[in-house]
Chains A and B, each alone.
Chain A
Amino acid sequence: MSLNCIKIPHIKDTEDCETIRFPVPETVYIPMSQHMGAPCEPLVSIGDEVRVGQKIGDTDAFMSTPVHSSVSGKVIAIDDYILPNGRTCKGIKIECDGKQTVSEDVKPPVITDKASFIKAVRESGCCGLGGAGFPTHIKLNFDESKTPVDSLVINAAECEPYITSDYREMIENPEDVLGGIKIIQDMLNIEKVYICIEKNKPKAIELLNNMTLQNNSINVIKLSTLYPQGAEKVIAYNATGRIVKEGELPLNQGIIVMNVSTVGFLNRYFKTGKPLTWRRISVDGTAVKSQCNIKVPIGISIYELLKFAECDESKVKKVLTGGPMMGLCVYDLNTPILKTNNAVLALKKDKKTVKTNCIRCGRCINACPAGLMPTELEKAYEQRDIDRLNSLKVNLCMNCGSCSFVCPAKKNLAETNQLAKLFVAKNR
Chain B
Amino acid sequence: MEKLIVSPSPHIRSGMTTQKIMLNVIIALCPAIIASGIIFGLRAIFLILICVATSLVWETLFNMITKKPNTIGDLSAVVTGILLAFNLPSTLPFWMAVIGTFVAIVIVKCLFGGLGQNFANPAIVGRIVLMLSFTGAMTNWVLPLSLQTADVVTGATPLVSQDAKYLDLFLGMTGGCLGETCALALIIGGIYLVARRIISPITPLFFLLTVEVFSVIVGVDPLYQLLSGGVLLGAIFMATDYVTTPITFWGKVIFGIGCGIITCVIRFYASMAEGVSFSILIMNILTPYIDMITKTKPVGALPDKNKED
**Chain A interface residues (CB < 8 Å from chain B):** 3, 8-9, 161, 233, 237, 243-248, 313-314, 316-320, 324-331, 333, 347, 350-351, 353-354, 356-363, 365, 369-373, 375-376, 387, 390-393, 396, 399, 401, 404-410, 412, 414-415, 418
User: Which residue of chain A has its CB nearest to the CB of B245?
Assistant: A360
Contact B298 A320, beta carbon cutoff 8 Å = no
Chain B, interface size category, equals 35 or more
**Distance in angstroms between the alpha carbons of A350 and B12 in the assembled complex:** 8
Cβ–Cβ contact B10 & A405, under 8 A: yes
Q: Are B9 and A408 in contact (CB under 8 A)?
A: no
- Interface 1/0s, chain B 288-309, versus A by CB < 8 A? 0000000111111110111100
Interface majority SS (helix, strand, loop, mixed), chain A: loop
Q: Identify which of A313, A325, A359 contacts B9 (C-beta below 8 A).
A: A325
Identity of the chain B residue whose Cβ is nearest the Cβ of A394 in the assembled complex: B298
Q: Are B242 and A362 in contact (CB under 8 A)?
A: yes
**Residue of A360, A369, A387 touching B299 (CB-CB under 8 A):** A369
Of A233, A313, A360, the contact of B247 (CB 8 Å cutoff): A360
Whether A362 pairs with B16 at a CB distance below 8 angstroms is no
A9 surroundings in chain B (CB, below 8 A):
12
| Interface residues in chain B, defined as those with a beta carbon under 8 Å from any beta carbon in chain A | 1, 4-14, 16-21, 71, 73-74, 76, 113-117, 242-243, 247-248, 295-302, 304-307
Q: Which residues of A sit under 8 angstroms from B14, Cβ to Cβ?
A: 405-408
Contact of A415 with B301 in the complex, beta carbons under 8 Å: no
CB distance from B201 to the nearest CB of A (A): 14
Residue in B closest to A345 when the chains form the complex, CB atoms: B11
Report the Cα distance A162→B301, complex, angstroms. 32
Chain B interface mostly: loop
Contact of A393 among B4, B9, B247, B298 (CB under 8 A): B298
Is there an interface contact between B21 and A320, defined as CB atoms closer than 8 Å? no
Query: Are A354 and B1 in contact (CB-based, < 8 A)?
Result: no
Interface centre among B19, B21, B113, B296 (most CB of A within 10 A): B296
The answer to whether A372 touches B298, judged by C-beta atoms less than 8 angstroms apart, is yes
A residues less than 8 Å from B247 (CB atoms): 360, 362, 365, 373, 375
Which chain A residue has the least Cβ–Cβ distance from B251? A362
Cβ–Cβ contact B8 & A418, under 8 A: yes
Contacts of B11 in A (CB 8 A): 318, 320, 324-325, 327, 329, 347, 350
If A356-B18, A357-B114, A365-B247 touch, whether A333 touches B7 (CB-CB below 8 Å) is no
Whether B9 pairs with A401 at a CB distance below 8 angstroms is yes
CA distance A409 to B115 in the complex (A): 11
In the complex, the answer to whether B299 meets A243 with C-beta atoms within 8 Å is yes
B18 engages A409 (CB within 8 Å): yes
Return the contact of A350 from the options B5, B18, B248 (Cβ within 8 A): B5
